[in-house]
Amino acid sequence: MVMATGESFVDRRTGSRHVWFLNSAFDKISMDVALRRITERDATRPFAFVVTPNVDHLVRLETDTVLATLYAQAWLTVCDSRVLEIIGRISGETIEVTPGSDLTERLFDTVIAPDETVTVIGGNAEVIDAVRARYGLTDIRWHEPPMGLRGNREAVEACAKFVADNPSRFTFFCVGSPQQEMIAEACLDRGDCTGVGLCVGASLDFLAGAAQRAPVWMQRARLEWLHRLAQEPARMWRRYLVEGPKILLLWRRWRKTRQSMRKLEKTLGSPERVRERNLHIRLRDLERQLAARD
């Protein structure tokens, strides 16, 4: 697998731009800053992609090494979950929330011009037609991959080829996780894709009216998950009632690990340990000097 170069990977994990929380690294930027970074990135630069982890993703990251590898290559990681935001706040961590659906809507509402080329992987004809009509778009390049994408490498590579053959400033991957991140990785591997890919799941469904988002008051109350569960109980019950609560076990382990690390840092930073390390370094220097004389 070819790792992304330049800004798409090296820039992603350096400095203090991110905060490690539970088992993911989130960029410490607001919605407005994320939108500006995505918008201002030169469309001709090598491909880079954005991921939007939520509770379900972090739970799966515990055991899904494929997803973890995919996330590690993201240029930008923004938090999709207000539940994670409040868990972070209780833990003393500031996790900025940038829901993928809100980010997508902001791009279409304020950035994308009607005559701009937009590439979409996923969705269906009704969704594409509705988004086209809503925004007066004249140049949507749409590819509908087959079902079972995760186990179909040829189909994943066909999606990446479509991105390469239809360059645009923004490519929206709307096939669910980890399929959309797999396509993004395939775009990196090709080396000839450009622009920014956004792994945003069902975001276009909301813009098209094919699915309804929770009322604003439910979003602010961190109850959007309950709204989705009520809308699609057969599809969502396991995610929200079985898998979702596992985030509390993950949080508990993370807190224990963080406490242990802080205790170790405090011990290693004590004056006695500092003097001990300095003495050890001086002894090693003397040993090297004596060896050089011999």
What is the reported pLDDT for 5?
40
The residue among 35, 104, 29, 74 whose CA lies nearest residue 180 is 74
Q: How far apart are the first and last CA of the chain?
A: 48
The string of pLDDT tens digits covering residues 42-78 is: 999 999 999 999 888 888 888 877 888 888 899 999 9
Give strand pairing partners of 118.
Answer: 140
Query: What is the helix, strand, coil percentage profile of the chain, to 5?
Result: 55, 10, 30
pTM over cut 0.85: no
| pLDDT tens by residue, the chain, 294 residues | 334 444 443 444 444 577 778 878 888 889 999 999 999 999 999 999 999 998 888 888 888 778 888 888 999 999 988 888 888 888 888 888 999 999 999 999 999 999 999 999 999 999 999 999 999 999 999 999 999 898 999 999 999 999 999 999 999 999 988 999 999 999 999 999 999 999 999 899 999 988 777 788 877 777 787 777 787 888 878 877 888 888 888 888 888 877 776 666 666 666 766 666 666 677 677 667 766 766
